[in-house]
Amino acid sequence: MSALLQINDLRVTFRTRYGEVTALDSVSLHVNAGETLGVVGESGCGKSITALSVMGLIPQPPGKIAGGEILLNGEDLTKVSEARMRGLRGSEVAMIFQEPMTSLNPVFTVGDQIAEAIMLHQKVSADQAMKDAIALLDRVGIPSPDRRARDFPHQLSGGMRQRVMIAMAVSCRPKVLIADEPTTALDVTVQAQIFDLLNEIQRDFGAAIVLITHDMGAISEMADRVAVMYAGRVIEDASADDVLDMPLHPYARGLINCIPNLGRDDDSLAEIPGVVPPLHLLGAGCAFADRCAHKAPRCAVEKPLLINHGHHPAACHAVEEGRL
């Protein structure tokens, strides 16, 4: 099956006061129609930069796509004009941002904002666009949608605002839907409702979903495949079952161990020591080495490659050498 979205060796750099730093280092991902790809990792691992690169929203300057390609239905988004990208953005690929209050315009009603997105990509009148907007609000489970369409973002709860963002993102039935931390700051009940809604929309529209999250519970709920990112690189890529049940990379194992387990004998929570290193401090070796209990001298000087280790790909010298 050919992938709807195929990212090949994507490299993104930024100019900073420390010089040029690499935010994405040879990132390769793909997602097929009707499939959900989970992209996981801590803050600063490159998940959102990957999404913004696909959407053509990297600020240039200081950012720059320095290499690689982003193929949407075979068309390389890194080579299209800004006018062409505006046409694709929303109609072919859309994004649900992680904080609705910074993404929705506070001075326009939510109905007007959804209708504007519809009119941008479809040849319909303003009246028809508003009818479609109200139907979408109803579709995403907002009660009294005709009344709520006249509300401003601040008049809605966090869960409702996120539903508005989903309605706006799917208003033109994009083939690829990127959800960047779609349940941030929502309580667990609303989180479950948002995930159910995304599953329903995927079934109805046949969209490919890229779910960006640091929540492994969300991955177990939603994803078919998982790409684990760390310091701007993909370090493990496999089916969700393989990553959750048989993680290879020590970082992936750490993420799994951080999931609360009610069956544990003690009530302590596991943690991964340390933090993701700043991009300008990355050395020649493995970026995870300073936090890894399995590091060896080789790890400090040689960057591990993402290669298959008999089960699925992982970028780890310890796995390659059988030390894990």
CATH fold of 5-92+174-193+207-283: Rossmann fold (3.40.50)
Going by pLDDT thresholds of 50, 70 and 90, the confidence category of residue 76 is: very high
78 with 70: CB under 8 angstroms? yes
Give the number of other Cβ atoms within 10 Å of residue 322's Cβ: 7
Alpha-carbon distances of 172 from 128, 136, 285, rounded to whole Å: 14, 11, 44
Question: b vs e for 5-34, b when ≥16 Cβ sit within 10 Å of the residue's Cβ?
Answer: bbbeebbbbbeeeeeebbbbbbbbbbbbbe
Whether the full predicted model's pTM is greater than 0.85, yes or no, is yes
> Torsion-angle region of residue 173: left (phi > 0), alpha (psi -120 to 50) or beta?
left
324 with 254: CB under 8 angstroms? no
**Residues 139-166: tens digit of each pLDDT:** 888 889 999 999 999 999 888 888 888 8
148 with 156: CB under 8 angstroms? yes
Q: Where are the domains of the chain?
A: 5-92+174-193+207-283, 107-173
Return the DSSP state at 303: P
Place of tokens 């779609």: 182
* Residue 268 clears pLDDT 80, i.e. is over it: no
Q: What does the pLDDT average to over 293-318?
A: 90
CA dihedral 286, 3, 195, 51 (to 10 degrees): 50
Structure-block tokens of residue 308: 């298959």
Which are the contacts of 140, defined by CB distance < 8 A and separation ≥ 6? 163, 164, 166, 167, 197
pLDDT top residue among 192 and 107: 107
Structure-block tokens of residue 312: 């699925």
Angle at the Cα of 89 from the Cα atoms of 88 and 92, rounded to 5 degrees: 55
Going by pLDDT thresholds of 50, 70 and 90, the confidence category of residue 111 is: very high
- Which pLDDT does position 266 carry in this prediction? 57
- Which pLDDT does position 261 carry in this prediction? 67
- DSSP states along 253-277: HHHHHTS--TT-SS-------S-PP
Q: Where are the alpha helices (H) located in the chain, listed in sequence order?
A: 47-55, 82-88, 100-103, 110-121, 126-139, 145-148, 158-169, 188-205, 216-222, 240-245, 250-257, 297-301, 317-320
Decide: residue 1, CB within 10 A, 0-12 exposed, 13-18 middle, 19+ buried.
exposed
CA 195 to chain centre: 14
- Which pLDDT does position 43 carry in this prediction? 86
* Residue 72 clears pLDDT 90, i.e. is over it: yes
C-alpha–C-alpha distance, residues 296 and 174, integer Å: 46
SS3 state at 290: helix
* Residue 241 clears pLDDT 70, i.e. is over it: yes
pLDDT top residue among 121 and 233: 233
pLDDT top residue among 293 and 191: 293
**Residues 202-216: tens digit of each pLDDT:** 888 888 999 998 888
Q: What does the pLDDT average to over 31-39?
A: 92
